[in-house]
Amino acid sequence: MNGNKNIIVKIALLIAISLCGCQGDDMEEDFDKKLEQIYAKNHLPSLSACILTENGIQWTVYKGYANKENEKKADEETIYHIGSISKLFILTAIMQLEEQGKINLDEDINQYLPIKLRHPNHNNVPITTRMLLTHTTGLSKPGTFNSQNGMWNLFAPDQGPSPSDWIPMYLTPSGSQYDAKLWQSVPPGKYEIYSNIGTCVAAYIVEQISGMDFRQYCSKNIFGPLSMQHTSYNYADLDWNKIALLYDRNGHGSQYFDNRVYASGGVKSTINDLSKFAQCYLNYGIYNGTRILNEATVDKIFKLQNPATGRCLIWQISGGEWYGHIGGLELGASTTLAIHPESKTGFIIFTNAHLGIVNPGGEIYWLIRQKSNEYMD
């Protein structure tokens, strides 16, 4: 009798396992169908994404073309412009110097600079590095002013002037291209105004303290140690044939370019490479046995600075405990990096078109974030 019961129990377990497998297959098919529908509806040239844990990439998808004209499909070797996710490298560089005792986040930045940098309307208020990393300096957000001094001119690849070259010209009253409209009326430390210029000032500080070009600093102290071999600010360091072409809203491909604020948005990378950087933060500063930040430093980075916006140091919290950053170029790029340190999970989304569907609130963002729940501890 007991033998019959055991047989019945085993059969029931097999049926349950089979049903779970079928449900899992159905869920996967449903996910694939939804993703394909959204992808097709929005006419994306390409979409590349991954879900990762502290141990590496667990899931990937590559759709469409990195270069439609040459019928070059997107794959794991495709290099994308990641836009403002680049600011996380500015943050990492600053915090490496902070660990070395070379910078204090709450002291006047002028002690690190060869110029005096002050808000023209609030000259008695010191600007600190923490303000730069929380977008509270009062410096303008791009597009909120009408500058006639060539601030937003584009340059040939790798020809954009370094922060040390252009910041004194544009942000000090004695500079040849000074424009007070680069500043908002609000005093430093009071209001969050997202600013590419402000984070470039942080890169300027890195150059002055380290004595290195900011691009070289990142290559030596971040990209190299993390084995991010297909990541760089410089086009010359990369395989041109693997860089995704930028497509505007009309589907026209754009040539590559450089600008003054490249430190804040000029990194090019692959899904695989950026996943290493994400794993480093999930593991509180260490990747594959190489530590680039101390654990206590990452705790400082993740500490909430502005509850109203979810702003930490550069990173921003959204939807619970997801820390992330987005990137975008109007000429043709939208990107997202999101990590959930508590569950050691994250995801990355790249596309070579400027569409918000891959950013928080967008259809693809939410679909992939929901799928990432399958990999949480």
Q: Could you tell me the domains of the chain?
A: 35-375 (3.40.710.10)
Provide long-range contacts, Cβ within 8 A and 24+ apart, for 8-13: none
Query: Quick one: pLDDT band at residue 29, thresholds 50, 70, 90?
Result: confident
Q: Is the pLDDT of residue 19 over 90?
A: no
Phi-psi sector, 332: left (phi>0), alpha (psi -120 to 50), beta: left
Element spanning 317, H or E: strand 316-318
287 DSSP β-pair partners = 290
Q: How far apart are the C-alpha atoms of 87 and 117, rounded to whole Å?
A: 21
Own/partner long-range contacts of 37-45 (Cβ < 8 Å, ≥24 apart): 38/357, 38/363, 38/364, 38/367, 39/63, 39/64, 39/364, 42/353, 42/355, 42/357, 43/251, 43/353, 44/351, 44/353, 44/355, 45/244, 45/245, 45/247, 45/251, 45/332, 45/351, 45/352, 45/353
Q: Is the pLDDT of residue 175 over 60?
A: yes
What value does the mean pLDDT take over residues 135-163?
Answer: 83
Q: How distant is the alpha carbon of residue 252 from its chain centre?
A: 25
Beta bridge partners of 353: 247
Helices marked H in 42-176: 87-99, 129-133, 163-171
* Mean pLDDT along residues 301-306: 98
Determine contact, residues 214/93, Cβ cutoff 8 Å: yes
The percentage of the chain sitting over the pLDDT mark of 90, rounded to a whole number, equals: 84
Q: pLDDT at position 22, please?
A: 46
Question: pLDDT band for position 377 (50/70/90)?
Answer: confident
Residues 6+ apart with CB under 8 A from 315: 88, 91, 301, 302, 323, 324, 325
CB 84 within 8 A of CB 195: no
CA 312 – CA 136 distance, rounded (Å): 12
In the predicted structure, residue 146 carries a pLDDT above the cut 80: no
**Mean pLDDT value of segment 20-31:** 65
Q: Which whole number is the average pLDDT over 255-259?
A: 89
Q: If you average pLDDT over residues 62-82, what whole number do you get?
A: 97
Tell me the two tokens of residue 137: 């300096």
